Amino acid sequence: MAQHKKSSASNPPAEAQGPQQPPVLPQLVDHGRPCKEFQYAAKVVSGIPQPDDGQEIVAPGRYYTAINVHNPATCKTVTFRWKVAVANPLVPGVITRFFSLTLRPDQAVEIDSPNIAKALGVAATRFVKGYVVIESPCELDVVAVYTVGAPATHGTPVGNVVAFHTERVCRRLIEACRDDLKLDLSTGATEWTLTSAVNYLNQPLPIQTPRPANVIETVDKSAVWGSQPGAQWISVRSVTQNLNPPTGPGFFTFQRCFSLCSGFENARLQLSVLVDDSATIWLNNTQVSTAAGFNNPTPVSITNQSLFLPGLNCLSFVVKNIIWLPETQNPVGLNVVGTVTAERGACPDCGCCCSDCGAQQVYPKPHPNPVPSPTETETEQG
């Protein structure tokens, strides 16, 4: 007698297992970019002062800083940013990048000495003075707690607490670093400055500096110079001359400055460089690259965040003009296609008393001066 198979209804499959993790839930987060933000600057004194570091301005002991941050909102979750600004005696210190933290309503968090040391990349016992700077789109409660342990004696660890202090950190409203920056730095499309002109002995040449660099029209440029869309050649010709005249050997510094809002992130310089004859490239006081050749562009990308500064930054090209035998002079020029970008890097428009709107760049200012060998005789054979 044939056996009938059981129907699937009488033999149900094993029960499917649902997700083991709870569903992802949204948060009501205020992380927009308002026109103004709340800023808190909490004092930092942390670590163990060492006499050989010149830190005898405070009493011996182990210093601790703990900054407590509370979100007093009843409904909104807030994302705020914090960074460390170090204060050295008479010398400005480093500024770290921003770090983000998120607090739901009524939550609190602490930024303490180990966090500060980690942000700076130093040991927890390293003595640090300065500020933790907090920026938030919403008002926060910020209270700093300071303790000092008795100094170690005869090889014993730091002793009991000898001082304790709390301080509520005041808020201030600041112009927010709200808009992203994308700025064209190309020669000919924006004004560059000739800041220095010296010979191989580092002696000034008879060329007025600082003054705007001269833009060479396409019909006037040297026949051997290449071209780049969006840029024109700049040079050191006299303002009374239409052509680009030959120039003696030397070093000619062309500079373009720009400002970054203090809350900038992910700054980037992207350059394509033609130069006659060669150049060293500087961002502020650091040489970042070199370039040579007036037909094939040299690409340059600068993304190291430590090279960018809040406020004024200056991109400088120290262009080297060599001797072209049998002539003693030849043209000098620079052609750059370039952009600088930064998230939240655009400075506010004249809405703050500390805005750089209307400010003037005053020379002399620190910029790289070439120090070539007095015996330098590099030449090109014509």
Give the model confidence (pLDDT) of 100-113 as tens digits. Answer: 999 988 999 999 99
DSSP letter string, 131-186? EEEEEESS--EEEEEEEEEPPP-TT----SEEEEEEEEPPEEEEE---SPEEEE--
Integer Cα distance of 44 and 180 in angstroms: 30
CATH of domain 181-347+363-381: 2.60.120
**High-pLDDT (> 90) share of the chain, %:** 47
- The pLDDT, as a whole number, for residue 289 is 96
* Every domain of the chain and the residues it spans: 29-175, 181-347+363-381
For residue 349, the model assigns a pLDDT of: 65
Integer Cα distance of 291 and 56 in angstroms: 47
Give the mean model confidence (pLDDT) for residues 233-262: 76
Tens digits of per-residue pLDDT, 274-308? Answer: 998 899 999 998 999 999 999 999 999 999 998 99
* 375 has a pLDDT exceeding 70: no
Secondary structure element (H or E) that encloses residue 116, with its range: helix 113-120
